Amino acid sequence: MKRSEKINNQDLKKIGFYELDLIKAAGKIAKRLINHKTTTKEDLMLTLQNVLENPDNYIQNEIFGELAQKVKVLQSKNDLRRQQEAGFALKTEEPTYPIYGKENIEAGALKQMDIAMKLPISIAGALMPDAHHGYGLPIGGVLATEADKIIPFAVGVDIACRMCMSIFAIEANYLEKNANKFKNYLLQNTLFGTGKGFEKPMADDLFDKSEWKATKVIRDLKTKAQQQIGTSGTGNHFVEWGFLELSSDSSDLGLPQGTYIALLSHSGSRGFGANIAGHYSKLAMSKTKLPDVAKHLAWLDLNTEEGQEYWLGMNLAGDYASANHHHIHKKMAASLGLNPIKMIENHHNFAWKEKLQDGTEVMVHRKGATPANTGELGIIPGSMTKPGFVVKGKGNFEAINSASHGAGRVMSRSQAFKNITQAQMNRILQDEGVMLIGGDLDEAPMAYKDIAKVMTFQQDLVEILGKFTPKIVRMADREKMPHKKSKTSGELNFNES
């Protein structure tokens, strides 16, 4: 057995195994399974983390049942201790909230949303049809809390992950005839990857804002932010060319019926936002003690210095994410020699101060959910081969004025690497006529839900204005250690977008 395949105590501590009894039990399982070569270290680490987070799912499991029982007993003791120490107990009544496309959502995401709704500060919530398991709040979760409380992990690691589309008045066949030219535009004007940045940072008025001097955390990250302006991350981040079809004249877009060439990008606030998220998530968990099952949903109070610091940092990350996209789109337009006739953009992974239908002021966390207030424009992408949609919000108060932010994963990243072959991915790219630059098996179209079904589940939430079909897609090149923390960049890469 190779040394790198062994799971040691430090490995277990990194995923949350701190108690000696649990470490011994998990280590015993790891040694047996890896010795018999029935699993890989990466897959086993993921399973052990799942046992720790969702022990009920493993109680009857022949291999992990005893460990799951130990986890449950310990969690019960810790819950009681935490409640006695801090007094933050979860609500006991079963929560009620709308779930769109429930049959299409995994049990883990439903459980996470139930826990979030039981927080003493939670007022309302909704689960979007693309929902899947995340950290704390599920991806696709919308949570309205007391107006002066904000949950860093309910915003997400990739703060202000964003969609942006530039629409150009060019006939669609121009893209097909000049595919290599458009491919080169992507190669020349984009930079992807964990920790990646430009040697010569591009100037932006954003960096003149006084907020960059407001806190030590922000000041320490300014250089990184300047280096990474106009770049994209890994995972599901992309920049792509494709066709936008408008089936009828749209007064909302100010464009006549027809097919346009469009540029679509998806990325967030890079290392700056990831480090803001990491710092204040840890701070929130140290300040707000919750039962283990809800510990990642710890909040900060906006009436405190820490709460104000995070609020400022989050909003600055939002401005930064927007600037990132604008740099990319400006460079693409310059290469094309043509300005866009329309630009559409929207955040997800953010928190907004809003009002519920009854006028109650709340803090609305949309983690992987698109704002869909009445008349608000947004973009809901599919996958690298499946269409996305330009939408207009219907202002559905039951859904807290929200919609999905994409198709949503049907396979975890590790499952995708295990179950999808390169040949399968190449075949679907060829069948759909899509040119892919970079990318990996964890982003294969088969790893995502059917976007058509997802859209049918939210007909009451948004109106479809146009359909975008990707044709030339740029994503991050393959990395040897996906979804880990870069030792050099300090940039988290959980891809919660």
Segments making up each domain of the chain, as ranges:
3-86, 155-269+314-342+370-474
CB neighbour class for 373 (10 Å; exposed up to 12, middle 13-18, buried from 19)? middle
Average pLDDT, stretch 101-128? 96
- If pLDDT is split at 50, 70 and 90, which confidence band does 487 have? very low
Token couple for 461: 């939430």
Q: Is the pLDDT at 377 greater than 70, yes or no?
A: yes
Q: What local confidence, expressed as pLDDT, does residue 491 receive?
A: 39
Q: Is the pLDDT at 486 greater than 90, yes or no?
A: no
Rounded Cα distance, 131 and 236, in Å: 15
- Closest by alpha carbon to 63, among 79, 45, 80, 51? 51
Token couple for 411: 């396979």
Average pLDDT, stretch 348-371? 97
- Please check whether residue 123 is in contact with residue 144, taking contact to mean a CB–CB distance below 8 angstroms: yes
How, if at all, do strands 435-437 and 462-474 pair?
parallel
Q: What local confidence, expressed as pLDDT, does residue 85 receive?
A: 57
Q: Is the pLDDT at 3 greater than 50, yes or no?
A: no
Q: What local confidence, expressed as pLDDT, does residue 355 receive?
A: 97
Q: Residue 325: which residues within 8 A CB-CB, separation 6 or more?
A: 162, 164, 265, 267, 345
Helix, strand, coil in percent for the chain, rounding step 5: 40, 20, 35
- If pLDDT is split at 50, 70 and 90, which confidence band does 211 have? very high
How, if at all, do strands 462-474 and 388-393 pair?
antiparallel
- 51-98 pLDDT, tens digit each: 988 899 999 999 999 999 998 888 877 765 555 455 588 999 999 999
Rounded Cα distance, 326 and 166, in Å: 10
Q: Is the pLDDT at 32 greater than 90, yes or no?
A: no
Q: What local confidence, expressed as pLDDT, does residue 439 receive?
A: 95
Range 155-269+314-342+370-474 has CATH code 3.40.50.880: no
- If pLDDT is split at 50, 70 and 90, which confidence band does 17 have? confident
Q: What local confidence, expressed as pLDDT, does residue 83 receive?
A: 52
Q: Which amino acid, one-letter code, is at 441? A: L
- 172-198 pLDDT, tens digit each: 899 999 999 999 999 999 999 998 998
Token couple for 257: 């019926």
- Please check whether residue 152 is in contact with residue 311, taking contact to mean a CB–CB distance below 8 angstroms: no
- Please check whether residue 273 is in contact with residue 322, taking contact to mean a CB–CB distance below 8 angstroms: no
Q: Is the pLDDT at 155 greater than 50, yes or no?
A: yes
- H helices of 288-412, where? 305-336
Q: What local confidence, expressed as pLDDT, does residue 485 receive?
A: 40
Average pLDDT, stretch 206-224? 96
**Look-up of token digits 């280590």:** 27
What percent of the chain has a predicted confidence (pLDDT) above 70? 94
Rounded Cα distance, 255 and 342, in Å: 8
Q: What local confidence, expressed as pLDDT, does residue 480 receive?
A: 53
Q: What local confidence, expressed as pLDDT, does residue 82 receive?
A: 57
What percent of the chain has a predicted confidence (pLDDT) above 90? 76
- 286-328 pLDDT, tens digit each: 999 999 899 999 999 999 999 999 999 999 999 999 999 999 9
Q: Residue 181: which residues within 8 A CB-CB, separation 6 or more?
A: none
Q: What local confidence, expressed as pLDDT, does residue 86 receive?
A: 54
The secondary structure of residue 481, as a DSSP letter, is S
CB neighbour class for 444 (10 Å; exposed up to 12, middle 13-18, buried from 19)? buried
- 118-142 pLDDT, tens digit each: 999 999 999 999 999 988 899 999 9
Q: What local confidence, expressed as pLDDT, does residue 484 receive?
A: 41
* pLDDT averaged over every residue in the chain: 91
Weakest mean pLDDT among 32-36, 227-231, 268-272, 409-413: 32-36
